Amino acid sequence: MRELYTSFGLVEATHEFISHAMCLKTDDTHLDQPAAPTVKELQCYCYSLARYGTSPYIYPIYGLGGLPEGFSRLCAIHGGTFMLNRDVDEITFDGDGKANGIKCGNELARAKIIIGDPSYFPRDKVRPTGKVARSICFLNHPIANTGDKESVQIIIPGPQVGRKNDIFVCSVSNAHAVSAKGVYIAIVSTLMEGDDPNQELSHGLALLGNILQSFTTVANTYEPASDGSADNCFISASFDGSSHFENDVQDMLSLYKRVTGKELDMNINADSVEADY
């Protein structure tokens, strides 16, 4: 990819903008890899921008909770059963070491396979991948120099601020029915490279202006130690530091293949308005 940029006479700052802000690369390892995948990601960005007009991104009304709600409704249509307000106390295994159920108090639900994120599984089933710093900030104004937009996605390429990993800023508002009128919610996140989360997020926080209140957390991230075929534990990776969920979508596609043994067919007509249930 680096050679392609050079052949078009693009300066390094342009490399970083295209790769990180448009192709959603989170580091520079792709520069020394074949260019085709990155070019396809650039095409996807341009198509999405043309499709939605002012932004290549879409965000659900009432927040991200609308995504699991949609899944739950579709799952119920296909006969799915939900046990609400239940903790996972233990994942049970048979004599061959294969997962066969979930225990909650005195209740036991049997299953042929268990699918979940790393927090539900024993530590020997996952391995650590790092830490993510996030700061949820409440503002009484839109982020400056963004045209007073009601929602904003800002990606700060790591190399431009002396970091390996990018810093992400996502801002939403009452327009998405996630806050009171006049209140903006900005989330700043990145992969930790040091020990001080506020220092790690400082370049993103500096863009927000006056902050009414903020909540900063550091979360450990994990990935599955195996593909799940041997123990029937099919585990996703933890959410990374990005705000666009690109890597999380790729992880979901990988999880689908591990569970079913085949690729998810994504060859659908994106312009169709009819849902195929």
pLDDT at 124: 93
Share of the chain above pLDDT 90, in %: 67
Q: Per DSSP, which regions of the chain are E strands? A: 90-93, 99-104, 107-110, 114-116, 126-139, 152-156, 167-172, 184-191, 213-224, 233-235
pLDDT at 270: 60
Share of the chain above pLDDT 70, in %: 96
Residue pLDDT, tens place only, 91-117: 999 999 999 999 998 889 999 999 999
pLDDT at 138: 97
In this prediction, residue 269 has a pLDDT band, given cuts at 50, 70 and 90, of low
pLDDT at 66: 85
**Closest alpha carbon to 207 in 236, 173, 184, 181:** 184
Residue pLDDT, tens place only, 115-135: 999 999 999 999 999 999 999
Cα–Cα distances in angstroms (integers) from residue 154 to residues 104, 135, 206, 250, in the given order: 42, 14, 12, 21
**Does the pLDDT at position 67 exceed 90?**
no
pLDDT at 227: 95
Residue pLDDT, tens place only, 222-237: 999 999 999 999 999 9
Measured CA to CA, the distance from residue 126 to residue 221 in angstroms comes to 10
pLDDT at 272: 58
Measured CA to CA, the distance from residue 212 to residue 253 in angstroms comes to 39
Range of weakest confidence among 16-20, 51-55, 189-193, 202-206: 51-55
Kindly report the average pLDDT of the chain as a whole number. Answer: 91
CA dihedral sign of residues 117, 121, 126, 128: positive
More confident residue, 234 or 266: 234
Range of weakest confidence among 11-25, 36-50, 57-71, 85-99: 57-71
**Residues, the chain, total?**
277
- Beta-bridged to residue 130, according to DSSP, are 221
pLDDT at 29: 87
**Does the pLDDT at position 277 exceed 60?**
no
In this prediction, residue 266 has a pLDDT band, given cuts at 50, 70 and 90, of confident
For residue 16, what are its two tokens? Answer: 């970083």
Residue pLDDT, tens place only, 134-192: 999 999 999 999 999 999 999 999 989 999 899 999 999 999 899 999 999 999 999 99
For residue 21, what are its two tokens? Answer: 């802000």
**Does the pLDDT at position 265 exceed 90?**
no
**What letter does residue 57 receive in the DSSP assignment?**
-
Cα–Cα distances in angstroms (integers) from residue 258 to residues 42, 113, 241, 252, in the given order: 27, 11, 24, 10
pLDDT at 103: 93
In three-state secondary structure terms, 207 is coil
